[in-house]
Amino acid sequence: MKNFSFDLAISLIAGIFVCLIILPIFALFTATSLSELACQFRSPMVLSSVLISLETSLAVVFLSLCLGIPVAYLLAMKDFKGKRILDTLVDLPVSMPPLVAGLALLILLGGNSKFGKLLSCYGIDLIFSKKGIIIAQLFVSIPFLIKSTKDAFESINKNVINASLTLGASRFYTFKTILLPLAKNGIYTGIIMTWARALGEFGATSMVAGCIPFRTETMTVAIYQNAMSGELSASIAVALLLLVFSFTLLLVFKLRVRVHAR
Amino acid sequence: MGIILKGISKSYDGRAVLENLNLEINQGEFHVLLGVSGGGKTTTLSVIAGLIKPDSGSVFIGTRDVSDLSPDKRKIGFVFQNHALFPHLSVFENIAYGLRLRKITEKEIKRKVDYYLNGVSIAKEKDKFPSQLSGGQKQRVALARALVIEPEVLLMDEPMNSLDSMTKETVLDELKNIQQKIGVTTVYVTHDQAEAAFFGDRVSVLNNGKVDQIDSPVGLFRHPRTEFVARFVGVKNILKVSPIKINNNEIIVLIKNEGLERPIKIRVKKYPVFEIDKEINLCIHPEKIILKKKNKVPENEIPDTGLNRIYGKIINITDFGNVLKVTININGMEMYATIPKNLFNFNIYENVWVCFATNAPHPLCGKKCRAPASERRCLNNSNFAPLNGG
Ligand SMILES: Nc1ncnc2c1ncn2[C@@H]1O[C@H](COP(=O)(O)OP(=O)(O)O)[C@@H](O)[C@H]1O
Ligand SMILES: [Mg+2]
């Protein structure tokens, strides 16, 4: 009897959890009519936010590969002074509230800082621009790529790398022909997580880039703006599209993990 | 090319792994580096290969000082522990890897890879991936991959560890054949003294970061120079003694082995190495020990003439066909005797006299100190048994 009531209690609690997740999503899908949605999907503002989000997040994925793989290599393969510090720096953006990150970037890149002034001398204006969005998204999402790639590098048998070296390969050739192919799965996982994080980024982006429709309004920003100004159906339309994107990425990620585990 | 290691030292976090290690390996030699696990064998190979930079010392391959060269410039072939094949490349591509780096035509690459694929009899598996191979096959691929680049020296780190003993013997035989055929200087690392015994042209024993002894396998087993080497190659009955009185042709010593409750006095044939109070290791071959019934001999002090005798208790008897290996506990020290079965009439846990002639114990000095006849016997017998065996 005791067991039965325990099981019942556990099931009830799990049920509450399921409601917590499912009900809001359900509400989202049912808050507006299909015809209204179809109309919104064709609205230029919705489309522009989708394009801006895709453009910036793909740029972020590309940049995080360029920056992240070398950093991951350094952390996984080399011993050097300050390695622990670098390692902590990689974790920092993950634990930092995005709004705080955004504020920090705003101050650094804004017209009042020395750095910002220097940049605008050369005609580079990062604040309230797509470049600003990219920097903000990169800041918060690159750690995912670095960590996943670093783990992949670290799990490669050191002697496999040594074998390549003793066979006459340079470190670069070894990197190209051994490390990258063997870390492939980890890098793909990193790309998916980085991309998902960049797509969903709101706090830092809105701080740095503001919310200028058709220029710096990403999907997340559009959801917020429209909801706040009473354009609920536009907001929902963007939200549903974003959900589709992130569920697809989640699905791909889960499938990769399962394939990997085999 | 020969290999010379000069004064190599390497420590990790203040703990010395190699301490002023010197080693000379001749051109074309098959050299076995023997040592306990954690003894610095892999470190030594890695230093030769340039994968680890020693704290001090230099490495020569032939007449080249390679100390400051990176691994890819040293012209070595390395067969790693657990093979370390490239998991994402086929057998063929694994072997071809080192050739692709060199400016060699595809046709030439194929010819060379095929030659070594056949050389290690693995041609049938050339399109498989490492995960589809057995341990022995992986071993052969690793060997072919290292040899195909025609290295000046071949380094092998415990290559047979993951193989069962049948496969091991076959692969070892093949390895020796190939090595002799191409005459590449080889350093073969193992912790298994049986492998060392059957293999090397010479064996060096690594102990505490130094080479304790370099010798032919036979020399090593007949004349271990240190207690470590003796124990490692399976010599039984090592007595730590300190001489207390030197007579004409005999010497009185006290046995002071660890674990022994009080020193035991015995008489030993005089060797020039003995000095009063200078501790030295003696060994008695187990066949030289005779057991006598307790009541047959009066229980007085050590006899002044004839056999030495020490009082002890039989604690283990193992049957080896014609002979029995008997373990006797002597006040906390263990001694081993090999007794022909037909001469053995004792029970386990029986108290006995352990008797041996004054010329039975001989010093572990590395010099010849025994008659040829008994040398032959000690080689054929217990010395080849594994360390922990009876
Ligand atoms: N990178 C390292 N950092 C710290 N200690 C190490 C490292 N590599 C080896 N050691 C230590 O050095 C000793 C010798 O190692 P090794 O050469 O691998 O021994 P063996 O190959 O004879 O088993 C071991 O005690 C090991 O723990
Ligand atoms: Mg080792």
Chain B residues close to A167, C-beta within 8 Å: 72, 97-98, 101, 145-146, 149
Q: Whose CA is nearest to atom 1 of ligand 1?
A: B12
In the prediction, which pLDDT does B257 show? Answer: 86
| Any domain includes B261 | yes
Alpha carbon distance A201, A245 (integer Å): 13
Where does a domain end: B157, B192, B222?
B222
Residues B264 and B297 in one domain: yes
From B13, B17, B19, B188, mutation site for ligand 1 pocket: most ligand atoms within 8 A of C-beta = B17
| Dist. CA B38 → ligand 2 center (Å) | 7
For B76, which residue in chain A has the nearest alpha carbon?
Answer: A166
Number of compact structural domains in chain B: 2
Q: Whose CA is nearest to atom 9 of ligand 1?
A: B43
Q: Nearest CA of chain A to the CA of B208: how many Å?
A: 24
| Dist. CA B102 → ligand 2 center (Å) | 30
The full DSSP string for B159-217 is TTTTS-HHHHHHHHHHHHHHHHHHT-EEEEEES-HHHHHHH-SEEEEEETTEEEEEE-H
For A183, which residue in chain B has the nearest alpha carbon?
Answer: B88
Q: Is B150 on the interface with A (CB under 8 A)?
A: no
Residues B21 and B163 in one domain: yes
Smallest Cβ–Cβ distance between B81 and the set A159, A165, A166 belongs to A159
| Any domain includes B124 | yes
Q: Is B86 on the interface with A (CB under 8 A)?
A: yes
Residues B195 and B333 in one domain: no
| Dist. CA B306 → ligand 1 center (Å) | 50
In the prediction, which pLDDT does B121 show? Answer: 87
Alpha carbon distance A200, A209 (integer Å): 15
| Any domain includes B386 | no
Contact flag A166-B72 (C-beta cutoff 8 Å) = yes
Residues B197 and B60 in one domain: yes
Residues B107 and B156 in one domain: yes
Residues B51 and B83 in one domain: yes
Residues B199 and B240 in one domain: no
In the prediction, which pLDDT does B263 show? Answer: 87
Nearest atom in ligand 1 to the alpha carbon of residue B37 is: 23
Residues B340 and B376 in one domain: yes
Helices A219-228 and A232-261 sit at what angle, rounded to 10 degrees? Answer: 150
Give the pLDDT confidence of A5-41 residue by residue, as tens digits.
999 999 999 999 999 999 998 888 888 888 888 888 8
Q: State the number of CA atoms in the 13 A half-sphere of B165 facing the CB.
A: 3
How far apart, in Å, are the Cα atoms of B248 and each of B226, B252, B254, B269? 27, 11, 18, 10
Nearest atom in ligand 1 to the alpha carbon of residue B13 is: 4
**How far does chain B reach from its first CA to its final CA, in angstroms?**
41
Instruction: Give the residue among B30, B372, B19 at the shortest CA–CA distance from B222.
Output: B372
| Any domain includes B387 | no
Interior/surface letters B197-222, b for 16+ CB within 10 angstroms, e for the rest? bebbebbbbbbebebbbbbebebbbb
- Rg for chain B, CA atoms, rounded: 25
Place of tokens 């595809």: B106
Alpha carbon distance A27, A30 (integer Å): 5
In the prediction, which pLDDT does A127 show? Answer: 82
In the prediction, which pLDDT does B366 show? Answer: 52
- State how beta strands B250-255 and B238-246 pair: antiparallel
Q: Which CATH number does the domain housing residue B121 bear? A: 3.40.50.300
Place of tokens 């005999």: B250
User: Per-residue confidence of chain B (390 residues) as pLDDT tens digits?
Assistant: 899 999 999 999 989 999 999 999 999 999 999 998 889 999 999 999 999 999 999 999 999 999 999 999 999 999 999 899 999 999 999 999 999 988 899 999 999 999 999 988 899 999 999 999 998 899 999 999 999 999 999 999 998 887 777 778 788 888 888 888 888 999 999 988 777 666 788 999 999 888 988 988 878 877 788 888 888 877 778 888 999 988 888 899 999 888 888 888 899 988 888 888 888 888 888 888 989 887 755 555 556 677 888 889 999 998 888 888 899 998 888 899 988 988 888 889 999 999 999 888 888 755 444 433 333 333 333 333 333 332
Where does a domain end: B187, B222, B257?
B222
Where does a domain end: B222, B244, B266?
B222
Residues B201 and B239 in one domain: no
In the prediction, which pLDDT does B260 show? Answer: 84
Domain that holds residue B114: 3-222
Residue B289's φ and ψ, nearest 5 degrees, are -100, 135
| Any domain includes B320 | yes
In 3-state terms, what secondary structure has residue A175? helix
Q: Which ligand does the CA of B52 lie closest to?
A: 1
Q: Is B42 in the pocket of ligand 1 (CB under 6 A)?
A: yes
| Any domain includes B80 | yes
Contact flag A159-B82 (C-beta cutoff 8 Å) = yes
Residues B190 and B56 in one domain: yes
* Amino acid at residue number B218: V
For A158, which residue in chain B has the nearest alpha carbon?
Answer: B84
In the prediction, which pLDDT does B165 show? Answer: 76
For A173, which residue in chain B has the nearest alpha carbon?
Answer: B101
Q: Nearest CA of chain A to the CA of B127: how many Å?
A: 18
Contact flag A163-B80 (C-beta cutoff 8 Å) = yes
Q: Is B217 in the pocket of ligand 1 (CB under 6 A)?
A: no
Mean pLDDT by 10 residues, chain A (262 residues): 87 95 89 87 91 95 97 94 93 91 90 82 84 94 96 96 95 95 94 94 91 88 91 91 90 79 56
What are the helix (H) ranges across B56-128?
91-100, 106-119
In the prediction, which pLDDT does A144 show? Answer: 96
Q: Which CATH number does the domain housing residue B281 bear? A: 2.40.50.100
In the prediction, which pLDDT does B388 show? Answer: 35
| Any domain includes B390 | no
Q: Which ligand does the CA of B38 lie closest to?
A: 1
Chain A residues close to B70, C-beta within 8 Å: 165
Q: Is B88 on the interface with A (CB under 8 A)?
A: yes
In the prediction, which pLDDT does B385 show? Answer: 33
Q: Is B41 in the pocket of ligand 1 (CB under 6 A)?
A: yes
Chain A residues close to B73, C-beta within 8 Å: 168
Residues B213 and B239 in one domain: no
Instruction: Give the residue among A196, A186, A110, A180 at the shortest CA–CA distance from A152.
Output: A186
Smallest Cβ–Cβ distance between A165 and the set B51, B81, B88 belongs to B51
Residues B270 and B215 in one domain: no
